[in-house]
Amino acid sequence: MSVLDGVVIIPVIRCNSPDVAVRVTEVLIDAGIRVAEITLTVPNAVDAIGRLARGDAGRRALIGAGTVTTADEVRDAIHAGAQFIVSPCLVPEVVDAAIAAGVPVMPGALTPTEILQAVRAGADLVKVFPAQSLGGPAYIKALRGPFPDLPLVPTGGVDLDNVADFMRAGATAVGVGSELVSRDALARGDYDEIGRRAERFVKAVANVKRAGAKPCF
């Protein structure tokens, strides 16, 4: 069983400093989200991952590393405390390094061929990216025809207007970036707005679960 089992909302945190990444993650956790993906595009991202993993956030949520593209980055992130690894595409050495360390890995894929290759390579989850650009929930629904049981995580364009549709289309979880942690809010330092938006995402997903909606495939 993966530590990511049961995870539904995966925030993708991109910002211009490790301090901001830490603060944003703490705000998201307080809003009810129990996982955070700190992308390695954040300056000194490994430092932010380490601070979060060793602090209170690490006791309350899963802290992972995103935009990981090399085996060395996998090892550095895990050494800092990352509990899962996300890559924007299928990089075999990234998958292999994560598996060797016993840490869940979620490579990115888009086409049916890439998705199946990712699963056969050992992916715990598959990041379907960019999901909205290729049809959004309708694309996830279409993939569920040949792949009814694969763990798909649409990312890219998931927002409050379509997150429920993605879940009903058969998404295992969703990755959410600027639609959750908006660039405008970051620029203003408006962490309250980020927290409110996170609460709305949590509520939207909870409503789908409470309704007992069945995947529409």
* DSSP-derived secondary structure for 38-83: EETTSTTHHHHHHHHHHSHHHHHSEEEEES--SHHHHHHHHHHT-S
Over residues 193-203, mean pLDDT = 97
Q: Which residues contact residue 158 at a Cβ distance below 8 angstroms, ignoring those fewer than 6 apart?
A: 131, 132, 166, 174, 175, 176, 179
Over residues 170-181, mean pLDDT = 97
Residue 215 clears pLDDT 50, i.e. is over it: no
Over residues 190-209, mean pLDDT = 95
Structure tokens at 185: 């809010």
Over residues 141-168, mean pLDDT = 97
In this prediction, residue 209 has a pLDDT band, given cuts at 50, 70 and 90, of confident
Over residues 191-197, mean pLDDT = 98
In this prediction, residue 216 has a pLDDT band, given cuts at 50, 70 and 90, of very low
Over residues 51-70, mean pLDDT = 97
Q: Are 211 and 47 in contact (CB under 8 A)?
A: no
The percentage of the chain sitting over the pLDDT mark of 70, rounded to a whole number, equals: 97
Residue of higher predicted confidence among 91 and 215: 91
Residue 71 clears pLDDT 90, i.e. is over it: yes
Active site residues: 37, 127
Over residues 79-87, mean pLDDT = 98
In this prediction, residue 213 has a pLDDT band, given cuts at 50, 70 and 90, of low
Sheet holding 108-109, edge to edge: 108-109, 126-128, 152-154
Phi–psi pair at 85, nearest 5 degrees: -125, 135
pTM score, two decimals? 0.95
- At 1 the pLDDT is 55
In this prediction, residue 3 has a pLDDT band, given cuts at 50, 70 and 90, of confident
- Report how far apart, in Å, the C-alpha atoms of 183 and of each of 77, 171, 190 are: 25, 26, 10
